[in-house]
Amino acid sequence: MTQGHTLNKASQAIVPVAETIGITKRYGGIVALSDANLKILPREVVAIVGDNGAGKSTFVKILSGAQAATEGSLKVGGRDITFHRPSDARDAGIETVYQDLSLAEDLDVLSNLFMGREECYFNFGGLSVLNRPKMIRRAKQLLGEIGVNVPGVHDTVKGLSGGQRQGVAIARAAGWGSQLIIMDEPTAALGVQETAHVHEIIRTLQSRGVAVLLVSHNMKQVMELSTRVYVFRRGRIVAELTTAQTSTDEIIGYITGARG
């Protein structure tokens, strides 16, 4: 057996981090999403593109456990799984950075990073004492590792720039051993430099073995960051493209319906 053959077999055996099979979502009579089949392999940055109302957010809500599908199933790490709530998805290693970031403006960076996951010296009968030194160490390590620059962990989120906020939201998602981070338009509200920094963070995550599912309207971003692209149109996936083998024009053709 040649080495090439062995490698080939090995690559066929790669288990997707997450996979959707025939996902359909109806709201009353409206079909928001129909028969969506999508998979994300380890270390991939998979982009979802499509016009307004194409079904992108609906898909994200289902994969992040925020809504149940009407039909279809999910697999995580090759296993069938059902999410009843977002914490089920988080427990399975899927974290979501929502477009509004869901940060608590009046709390500091540290509290936001550890929201709901505080480190305690003990926690008994509702009585707990936080292990703040441990949380501070972990927060600094996490922010440093993925390259998020904030003035300090005790600064309130209210005083941060858009890019720093996005960084904190991504760090919070990345901090819990996640396999997959879903980002809904992570740079829509950011300037050029801040966008470039978020791109660096995404690349760092990828190099650390985390897969990213990126919803984006920004074709330059899609071409620069993604490994593959799924085009949604009117609730259907109309194209699955390998980024290195496609072009902005081709993607836009599928988005508008000039193709496919």
- Burial (CB < 10 A; 0-12, 13-18, 19+), residue 192, is exposed
Least Cα distance to 171 among 113, 243, 251, 93 occurs for 113
β-sheet bridge partners, residue 27: 30
Q: Which of 58, 64, 166, 221 binds ligand ATP (CB under 6 A)?
A: 58
Q: Which residues pair with 239 in a beta bridge?
A: 231
According to the binding rule CB under 6 A, does residue 226 interact with ligand ATP? no
User: Nearest distance from residue 97's CB to ligand ATP, in Å?
Assistant: 15
Nearer to ligand ATP, 99 or 156 (CB): 99
Asked whether position 256 contacts ligand ATP by CB under 6 A, the answer is: no
Instruction: Give 3-state DSSP helix, strand, coil % of the chain, rounded to 5.
Output: 35, 30, 35
Read off φ and ψ for residue 241, nearest 5 degrees: -120, 150
Q: Would you call 87 exposed, middle or buried from its count of C-beta atoms within 10 A (0-12, 13-18, 19+)?
A: exposed
Q: Which residue's Cβ has the minimum distance to Mg ion?
A: 57
Shortest distance, CB of residue 201 to ligand ATP, whole angstroms? 22
Rounded least distance, CB 244 to ligand ATP, Å:
25
> Measured from the CB of residue 211, what is the shortest distance to ligand ATP in angstroms?
20
Q: Which of 22, 53, 78, 152 binds ligand ATP (CB under 6 A)?
A: 53
| Position 186 contacts ligand ATP (CB under 6 A) | no
233 binds ligand ATP (CB under 6 A): no
CB of 204 to Mg ion, least distance (A): 26
Does residue 54 bind ligand ATP (CB under 6 A)?
Answer: yes
Residue 54 — φ and ψ, nearest 5°? Answer: -75, -15
Q: Are 150 and 168 in contact (CB under 8 A)?
A: yes
Position 50 contacts ligand ATP (CB under 6 A): yes
Instruction: Tell me 258's DSSP state.
Output: S
Which residues in this chain contact ligand ATP in the complex, by CB under 6 A? 27, 30, 32, 50, 52-58
